[in-house]
Structure 1
Amino acid sequence: MTKQIGSLYVVATPIGNLADISQRAISTLTQVSCIAAEDTRHSGKLLQHLGISNRLLALHDHNEKQRAASIIEKCLAGENVALISDAGTPLISDPGYSLVRLCREAGVPVVPIPGPCALITALCAAGLPTDKFQFIGFLAAKSSQRQTQLAAVPDNAGTIICYDTARRILDTLQDVVAVFGAERQLVLAKELTKTFEHFAFGTAADITLWLTEDPQRCQGEMVLMIAPAPAKADEAIGEAVQRTLKILLAELPLKQAAALTAQIHDEKKNALYQLALSWQH
């Protein structure tokens, strides 16, 4: 009889509010043979709160590849192992990538147990476009490196999301201005799901002012979101649509030309009307 292979469970844990732990996560953490944690002391407090006494293994950036071999060995022997990070979803700016990749290569099933993730938690309440976004992880420690990171993001990336520390956030806001200009709209989310959760909106200058009004505000974990650049009217509307509009404008009144172009290309009439107006100035 072939021995059943165990699985690696990638388990999301709360980013602040402990009530955000899912029933499935609790059940999984209770039933696995052992739990690989980024910081065993930190995770030990969560497990104690949940009444879970499973054995903890330390898995962090410095020992992940070495630890992966023993975890895979356990799984191949039929044991189930859970992977957690200090907070949120493992692998998202946290250790675990090497372990998951090596498990896949070894034929060990990897099962996600979804839950909290700071970048998604921040984005869904920020009021910025969510149809397209790019997460660039933690920003670099040096200003020049941060600016290089930010400048490397494509113009069509949508909302840009990054993590930053309270110690560097004021300098980072200056770097955002250097790369994207002083008028770019931002949202800073801090202390998500915790008692002092707050979303600050506006330009870099607006958010800098809010942070510096009270030194207590420059504390805690932060997610910075950068709005996409506002599209210019003639960039937001395709060339074929613009050609049609110009042809019709030569024969028809502006309002009628815009309406017909909108009908032909399934575009918004008001946007075409405003574009045609801009051509007359």
Structure 2
Amino acid sequence: MMFLLRFFASALLVQTVLGAPEGVGKDITNSTKGLRFTIGTSEYTVIPQSFSWFSAKYACKELGMELVSIESAEENTAITQNIAEIYKNEYFWTSGVRIGTFNEYYWESTGTFFGPYTNWDSTSPTFDDMLMHVEFNTFLNPGAEIKWNDFYATYGRMALCELRAQTYDTSVKTKPGLFRIGDGFYEISPIKLPWFHAKNDCRSKGMDLLSIETEEENIALIAALQEYTENFWTSGSKFDTIDYVWQATGQLIANTFTNWAEGEPGPFCGLKMNNNTQTRQWIGADCYAESELARYVCEFHPRK
């Protein structure tokens, strides 16, 4: 019980201390970008400013990128080689997090749990608090490589952003649950999951949990979901902001199309389309509760 109380207290601290993260709605111009480099098929950009983890995440999204996920020894070595000399004695946020999964760290940008490759320093992971996120630093001895440690998300660190090659297979034209809206590919989940797990499942497929940003998209979704008399998760959330944000795009929902049910938005951290097949209005739901299960829609849009 004490663990759960501490967990929800941590979630409240995120919202009250951080407010709307600096990256939400902020124009990250060329003057704020630092080093840019490529490793394999991924592009990387340093934003040499001090961010909380949450603000770093949204700052990367403003660039159309994500916080870095370090999934191989080769990538870890190459990152060290590219930034260690230019940014000496600095700290950087990665996308590593465990919010919503309790004691398991995962890369938020890919939806995959850590492993098989990890490179923790000798004192990590600590699992001290649900607000512990994964960073690395460049306080390195000659020839040493960066190692990871978990630290409090409210501390200021630089952002290392990554743009990965898209992996979703657009050559598949028909499969259960697949439908198209414009240039987008949408897949209806065959299972029900809690919000964080639904978000990660979409990411692991090279997709994102649904964001409904226009009236035209909303109308098309209502038609596509006619046979389902149940609620659906969207990427709308305020688990790390005061106001609802489309987690997939970083856009404040208030600045896009809205379809709130009467009495909404409320205090809950997650956002669902309701089970009214004619309107699919939006309702709040507990994004942290493992018992709060729902179907969801994943979406993918090819880059221009």
TM-score (norm 2): 0.29
Higher relative contact order (CA 8 A, sep 6+): 2
**What's the TM-score once normalised by structure 1's chain length?**
0.31
Q: Which has the higher strand share?
A: 2
User: Which of the pair has more CA radius of gyration?
Assistant: 1
